Structure 1
């Protein structure tokens, strides 16, 4: 009779070793319009797809918009922790440093991301808008935008 309580732990995700572009899979995704909050449709009414680096950029945008630990559907490594900055009462330089750290940690979880650089910050009272450049292991790049309310 088979054991009802197996001891063996099965990892459903394959392990990715190394950081070379040949070892990391880029897949496809549904194209999403973040401004309207809806999927992009083709003229035939089908949901439009995007592939490779465009799908990776869609993942980056979504990860930066999602609060970490809030949704059970995501792993504990997915998303950002910008809300924690409110309780730290840091000055602008400290907040900018933490925004860089949190954004980099959020995006570098994905093995397709090789770098997060070139941050710029714009402050309006207690709101900080930032942009950064993300680079994939294939050499492609894109610009990410974000906003953090500090006060």
Structure 2
């Protein structure tokens, strides 16, 4: 008798079994957002619904503008912790590293987002600009915040 299992387990198959195929996902839908006015986009006083890649873009914008765990309307995994970096006195390289980590953590919880790449962070005093490419089930999109 051995302490080792007699059957071979293929870890790749187990991991793949937990992944949701994009074909199994419903079409992404969100209320349209007017990014310039920072408010819902209304037509004749009514909300507009966007779908697919546009819906994912709205979700990204909202997630990056919502502090994590501040509002009970959202789950504890929704939003970001970018505000916690303010006043930390981190070096520029440490700040860039943490920004990249927080950015990925806040976005990759969305099942429609499969990757975040080409992250470009520009820091000018207390102002930061971040650009990146997000890979979604609908294709890639360049985002600037």
Identify the TM-score tier after normalising by the shorter chain. Answer: 0.7 to 0.9
Q: Which has the greater radius of gyration? A: 2
1:83-131 CA distances to partner (integer Å, 9 max, x unpaired)? 2112532111111111111010100001110000111122211222111
The Cα of 1:70 is off from its aligned counterpart by 0.9
Q: Runs of at least 4 residues of structure 1 off by over 3 A? A: none
Which residue of structure 1 lines up, in the alignment, with residue 29 of structure 2? 28
Which residue of structure 2 lines up, in the alignment, with residue 141 of structure 1? 140
**SS in structure 2 at match of 1:131:** strand
What is the rounded CA distance, in whole Å, between the counterparts of 2:83 and 2:47 in structure 1? Answer: 33
TM-score by length of 2: 0.80
Change (3 A) 1:38 1:86: closer
User: For this pair of structures, how many residues does the alignment match?
Assistant: 129
**SS in structure 2 at match of 1:88:** coil
What is the rounded CA distance, in whole Å, between the counterparts of 1:77 and 1:26 in structure 2? Answer: 21
Q: Tell me how large the CA RMSD over aligned residues is.
A: 1.8
Change (3 A) 1:35 1:18: same
Contact 1:65 1:79 in 2 (8 A): yes
Contact 1:27 1:55 in 2 (8 A): yes
List gaps (5 residues or longer) in structure 2: 1-17
1:17-56 CA distances to partner (integer Å, 9 max, x unpaired)? 41421122233221110211222233x4432221122111
TM-score by length of 1: 0.77
Contact 1:30 1:49 in 2 (8 A): yes
List gaps (5 residues or longer) in structure 1: 1-16, 147-151
